[in-house]
A and B are shown apart, each in its own frame.
Chain A
């Protein structure tokens, strides 16, 4: 017994599958089989070298961006299935036939929330910013490419740790916010909360570093003439989000570290008694948690600004207003954290102050909504799938805004705090607000990333399913919340709730179909990619610099760094000069950071270290911690190895691209979705 503890910590045979119930066993087998399937495919197609050299070891911001999005998509599938399972459980349990136990339900709402926030939306945001932002500011890479890759692999390690909990042992049942004292050893012994702590720690470190990387890039790498007030709005939102990441993630890391000290070293920061106080945790957590909400929504606002302006064929209305609104939201987001616990017993005046601060955020947010409406006004609107998503967003988001102001009102919050009304509210903000923006951004930038457009018919079907599914799944929850139905309840026993729970279940089913439609869209588009190619790179008549490159762009992004004279740099180029005229004779050699496997190894070591800590396997934790440190030292010795793209290669690629541009027929906006669209835009006149 003793030696097994030294070797394997608290791991026991019984922690491995098969699990207690069939659904959990099935989930565990998926987690085991999926990587095996991927490995088999890679072996059969002889692509191991390819994936290692082209992807895993790449420091190219575009590839790192794509890998972030792939991670997010994979985790989205898991978290959506979990949501469907929870809806099924609540609907069926209320009519007397529960499908899972209360303990399993507790794990589900905890993993669903943790994954959606930290391993779906955050990586998706990091992915989109990674890909788009350097192209938009006319840069060749982020300032710290190695750090960028290390952040990706730390985040991936965190996601894998959450997935490991499906196979080995259990996850926390403390929700995504992990409130002590419930998450203390006294009430949650075992590995569950440990999994949650270390998964968040890994991604917390990764995200802080990403924030620093993005902010420095935006400050230091802009093309000549790209003043801050000439940046595309997506870059402004990326900058605000990065600053929020830098300042908001540390409180989370501190809070989880303190909770870890409580659990591992007998401290009493948040325990009941011995001087502990969970109020400290609530403040620290929401000091992170509220800015986090805006970390999630601001880049989405950036996406909406790009999508709405492009598909309205019009300049963004109120650029300055939008920038001011973005910054105001970012600043105010640090002043409202207490509205997450109006019910903790502070005085009425304190509640009122934080309630008013919360409503203040509604002002710049409302301004943004009308800025987008006015961007469409006097435009020429094309109902492409990204724009359709933005319409659902605008309608639903203001409803979420209304319920947000309701929740900011302390007396109303007393009535609906912890209820399904709250659950409906934040899903109302995060699904149409953030997730739809991620989907719209994916469809909008996909042609730039892979060189071909996505099928619009399946995109429209997916939009319909997602929009209708969202409304059906969450509007009933508002009503249920007002009827006194509380969140995290595994089992209601009130016949009044049945119709609402059934409608919500139907909505969840539609959302899952919407996800499937996205999969079909991707499949169909890959099969028909030859008819959807846009090699010239500007399929939507875009406004900003990312559209001024071939699709997909070369690794060096721009053969020459452009000179910028105003906002919407690419529109100006298309009007004033010829963006596709031959470039100067003197091409230069371009140096970019060479591939390296060290970030992957740091991720693997970090993941194993976290796993070891979760199960108290101390020797492994120490070894892996030393390994991470050694890898960083090793990298420091290497300096920064570069790879060179000779001028001749750059010239060849550029001239091929320009040749395609000259050969292509300019396509007007009516023929945008036809095969004739090769990515050379003929603007509406």
Chain B
């Protein structure tokens, strides 16, 4: 009786230790997924690991056994120096991986489509908030065209509301991810890529650029803040009171810098995002002149898609 209780206590302590250990290490990563996109990624991670383990576990068991049984000094196994083929073994070592890759392939076909960053996540509910993200050296600019505000280093969204990001860069290629929510996708000048993110849980999530773009790239972080609808309205009001994001302020933002505080702007210049893309399609053009729509549509990533 006391023995069982002791065992129970040890087990309990061990599980608390393990759980707390496990809870700690993925503090911000994939294993602390907080949205459907990252949850799908985590699920795929586990499925692949289990299926591939079927192939590698026999080696982990077989290799020590073979090393022990067939060692030169004292090994008991029969010695057959010319044994070099067995149909049964051939069928097993080719067949099992083929079956597993077939299963993985089918899984991947479905999950790749489900996890396509271009695809909206939620099937019901309110339409996504459209936000345009611009990778600059070394900060992220987010433009809310419908709300008429913009921010740097901060992506504020009501919890439970999906964000549809259109992404470009005004500088070297960057890559955007919010590890606990999903991603990632490249940001490339003159082109648009897309990413959908969603979480139901209020909170701050770390987002970043993962692609080296120079000495400040590792500080090109932003906070994805999932807030209540009230807080979102407050934030919008606050941003609308901030200075306007005109061409001059944008040009200042493009210069390499590492702002330590988030910034808000009101009334971004009309069609700012499209003009950032277009300036790479019209020779000699700057933000000043808006090119004809035909040039704007030449954003290759979207076309390729």
Give the B-binding residues of A (Cβ under 8 A).
Answer: 101-103, 106, 173-175, 179, 181-182, 187, 272-274, 277-279, 312-319, 321, 341, 343-349, 351-352, 355-356, 359-360, 362-363, 366-367, 369-371, 373-374, 376-383, 391, 394-395, 398-399, 401-402, 405-406, 408-412, 414-419, 479, 481-484, 486-492, 494, 496, 669-670, 683-684
Contacts and interface: CB of A to CB of B under 8 A. Distances in A.
Interface in B168-196: 171-173, 175, 177, 179-180, 182-186, 188-191, 193-194
A255 B40 CA distance: 36
29 contacts: A102-B218, A173-B215, A181-B173, A182-B214, A272-B280, A315-B81, A317-B83, A321-B94, A344-B188, A346-B304, A347-B116, A352-B108, A359-B104, A362-B101, A374-B89, A377-B77, A380-B79, A382-B72, A406-B52, A412-B44, A415-B38, A417-B175, A482-B29, A484-B30, A489-B217, A492-B218, A496-B25, A670-B72, A683-B81
Interface of B: 24-31, 38, 40-42, 44-45, 48-49, 52-53, 55-56, 58-60, 62-63, 66-67, 70-73, 75, 77-86, 89-90, 93-94, 97-98, 101, 104-105, 108-109, 111-119, 171-173, 175, 177, 179-180, 182-186, 188-191, 193-194, 206, 208, 210-218, 279-281, 283, 300-302, 304-305
A376 B94 CA distance: 18
B159 to A, nearest CB: 21
A476 B24 CA distance: 14
A106 B212 contact: yes
A347 B116 CA distance: 8
Nearest to A480: B29
A345 B83 contact: no
Contact of A363 (B72, B82, B97, B118): B97
Contact of B111 (A182, A411, A683): A411
Contacts of A379: 70, 79, 81
A490 B215 contact: yes
A349 B210 contact: no
A394 B82 contact: no
B104 to A, nearest CB: 6
B108 A409 contact: yes
Given A345-B304, A374-B86, A417-B184, 12 more contacts: A317-B89, A345-B193, A359-B108, A363-B94, A363-B98, A380-B70, A381-B66, A405-B52, A415-B41, A479-B25, A482-B29, A494-B28
A359 B52 CA distance: 11
Contacts, number: 300
A359 B216 contact: no
B184 A414 contact: yes
B238 to A, nearest CB: 27
Contacts of B305: 345-347
Contact of A376 (B70, B84, B173, B217): B70
B189 A102 contact: no
B184 to A, nearest CB: 5
Nearest to A103: B215
A386 to B, nearest CB: 14
A369 B93 CA distance: 9
A279 B279 CA distance: 18
A488 B212 CA distance: 7
Given A418-B184, A483-B27, A488-B217, A362 B97 contact: yes
A41 B214 CA distance: 42
A415 B28 CA distance: 12
B6 to A, nearest CB: 31
Contacts of B26: 482-483
A415 B185 contact: no
Contacts of B283: 273-274
A682 to B, nearest CB: 13
A136 to B, nearest CB: 18
B214 A173 contact: yes
B179 A484 contact: yes
B91 to A, nearest CB: 11
B173 A410 contact: no
A318 B175 CA distance: 45
Contacts of B185: 343-345, 414
B189 A272 contact: yes
Nearest to A405: B52
Contacts of A398: 55-56, 59-60
Nearest to B191: A345
A410 B72 contact: no
B58, B79, B302 pick with most chain A CB within 10 angstroms: B79
